[in-house]
Chain A
Amino acid sequence: MTGLGATTPLGGDVASTWEALVAGRSGVHLLKHEWAQELPCRIAAELAVEPSEVLPRVRLRRLDRSEQIALVAAQQAWDDAGLSDDLDKERLGVAFGSGIGGALTLLAQDDILEEFGARKVSPFTVPMLMPNGPAAVVGIEFKARAGVHAPTSACATSAEAISLASDMIRLGRADVVIAGGAEAVIGGLPMAGFSSMKAMSTRNDDPEHASRPWDRDRDGFVMGEGSGALILERRDHAEARGARIYAVVAGSGLTSDGYDIVQPDPECRGGGRAMRAAIKQAGIDPKDIGHVNAHATSTPVGDMAEVKGIKREVGDHVVLTATKSMTGHLLGGAGAVESIAAILAIVEGVIPPTINLENPDPALDLDVAANEARKVELNAALNTAFGFGGHNAALLFTKA
């Protein structure tokens, strides 16, 4: 891991996002948009820095918002890694996902079709709405020719992408892979759909306290938008060019529940097997894992099921945190941004807090960095991500 990039509700880059995470700042606020006013959930975590402040105007109009932020994050990661154009592009890959894709483009163009007819529909509609759009845009920007992959597994998407990227390097398919995910679907229909499932918080009168993983009074997730990108690089390739190595992707695990389209397995069996697989691949003792950046979305069932899985597979010594308490749920961007948080926890020796954990759920029997950042020396940290459809991903990072 030699480069990190992000644009999130907390900041337009990794440094500002990390600073806000450690400080325990919430990125959630009340939506002022007219379309939001009749929704059951009128709160969300919108980007701190609009892509229009970073990308040129004509570029913006040909890209869905998810593609715009994928590009922003990937460019940061690329620059952070100190990579240049002389890299062998046939050895450069991309694994970059989106959970939902260009839904807002689809809806906007459908409005144009209804109102003005087919001829007015943008010729960029299809490349903007396709869920492989963010991966494709990143791949073209950096001329990646070893394969551009766009895993899509709802909220496990970008964790799966990092796992896939790691496999690409292990299998010898690439020397460098740009991995991550992007999601930008804060809009009427996606929010109404999640609300109809009763998955979203309705704490509209208190936005900053709405995302409260593991708290007794949690009532659903808060939608966020954002993108995270990570440069994975074969160790000898990174060493040969003297690159800074943040951490190592020591192991990853991907499993599926085979259980329910939206409900998590109450015992976290599939999630647990993913953790076990990551630990096994890394070949480390679970006792060496000091921290888990948990999926914990602030939903009543999912949060506690995951705790069972972590306790069983990793042990009761770990310190958990749920950074979704601050960023909201970035859906397809979550695994990447939370992996960045887990990696920086190792690098900086600081676990960002889980804010709003005022009255812990009685079933929470693991240590959480509640409400304040925790200083702790870490050799290894785990990131988990689970998605609708029963997709489970676990990523194990170790000190460089």
Chain B
Amino acid sequence: MALSRDEIREGLSDILEEVAGVNPDDVADGKSFTDDLDVDSLAMVEVVVAAEEKFGVKIPDDEVANLKTVGDAVSYIEKG
């Protein structure tokens, strides 16, 4: 059963809190990982690996560069 956008965002939010200490209240579609949430490139690697595991998707390295905001990541995972 496919997850809703809200469920994906919530799952991402848990990962962001766990690996990068991001406050869940700050996680919204429009937020940039680097500029708004302070997730640097090394932390992003951890987020991607954790997200792949949690959502059962593959996020290739060249795709990661396009995932600038939380909304980008939610949409990518939604497409599966």
A contact residues vs B (CB 8 Å cutoff) = 56-58, 61, 119-120, 122-124
Shortest C-beta distance, A330 to chain B (Å), equals 30
Residues of A within 8 A of B42 (CB): 123-124
The total of chain B residues at the interface (CB under 8 A) is 8
Q: Give the residue name and chain of the A residue nearest to B21 (CB).
A: A58
B49 at the interface (CB under 8 A from A): yes
**Contact status A123-B45, CB under 8 Å:** yes
Shortest C-beta distance, A96 to chain B (Å), equals 22
Residues of B within 8 A of A120 (CB): 49
- Given known contacts A58-B20, A123-B45, A124-B42, what 11 new A-B pairs fall within 8 Å (CB)? A56-B21, A57-B21, A58-B19, A58-B21, A61-B19, A119-B49, A120-B49, A122-B46, A123-B42, A123-B43, A123-B46
Residues of B within 8 A of A58 (CB): 19-21
Residues of B within 8 A of A123 (CB): 42-43, 45-46
Q: Write the B37-63 contact mask toward A (1 if CB under 8 angstroms, else 0).
A: 000001101100100000000000000
B contact residues vs A (CB 8 Å cutoff) = 19-21, 42-43, 45-46, 49
Shortest C-beta distance, B37 to chain A (Å), equals 12
CA distance A58 to B42 in the complex (A): 13
Q: Give the residue name and chain of the B residue nearest to A57 (CB).
A: B21
The contact sample of 14 A-B pairs, CB cut-off 8 A, is A56-B21, A57-B21, A58-B19, A58-B20, A58-B21, A61-B19, A119-B49, A120-B49, A122-B46, A123-B42, A123-B43, A123-B45, A123-B46, A124-B42
Q: Give the residue name and chain of the B residue nearest to A56 (CB).
A: B21
Residues of A within 8 A of B20 (CB): 58
CA distance A71 to B77 in the complex (A): 38
Q: Give the residue name and chain of the B residue nearest to A61 (CB).
A: B19
Shortest C-beta distance, B72 to chain A (Å), equals 20
CA distance A236 to B49 in the complex (A): 53
Shortest C-beta distance, A64 to chain B (Å), equals 15
Residues of A within 8 A of B46 (CB): 122-123
Residues of B within 8 A of A61 (CB): 19
Shortest C-beta distance, A352 to chain B (Å), equals 40
Shortest C-beta distance, B29 to chain A (Å), equals 23
Q: Give the residue name and chain of the B residue nearest to A125 (CB).
A: B42
CA distance A120 to B43 in the complex (A): 13
Residues of B within 8 A of A56 (CB): 21
Shortest C-beta distance, B51 to chain A (Å), equals 12
CA distance A58 to B46 in the complex (A): 12
CA distance A388 to B49 in the complex (A): 40
CA distance A284 to B76 in the complex (A): 72
CA distance A356 to B19 in the complex (A): 46
Task: Give me the 10 closest cross-chain CB pairs, A-B, nearest first.
Answer: A58-B21, A123-B45, A123-B42, A124-B42, A119-B49, A120-B49, A123-B46, A58-B20, A122-B46, A57-B21
Shortest C-beta distance, B49 to chain A (Å), equals 6
Residues of A within 8 A of B49 (CB): 119-120
CA distance A301 to B19 in the complex (A): 48
Shortest C-beta distance, B65 to chain A (Å), equals 15
CA distance A71 to B43 in the complex (A): 20
Residues of B within 8 A of A122 (CB): 46
CA distance A122 to B49 in the complex (A): 9
CA distance A57 to B20 in the complex (A): 9
CA distance A120 to B46 in the complex (A): 8
CA distance A57 to B17 in the complex (A): 10
Q: Give the residue name and chain of the A residue nearest to B22 (CB).
A: A58
CA distance A123 to B61 in the complex (A): 14
CA distance A58 to B20 in the complex (A): 6
For A119, A120, A123, which residue has the most chain B Cβ atoms within 10 angstroms? A123
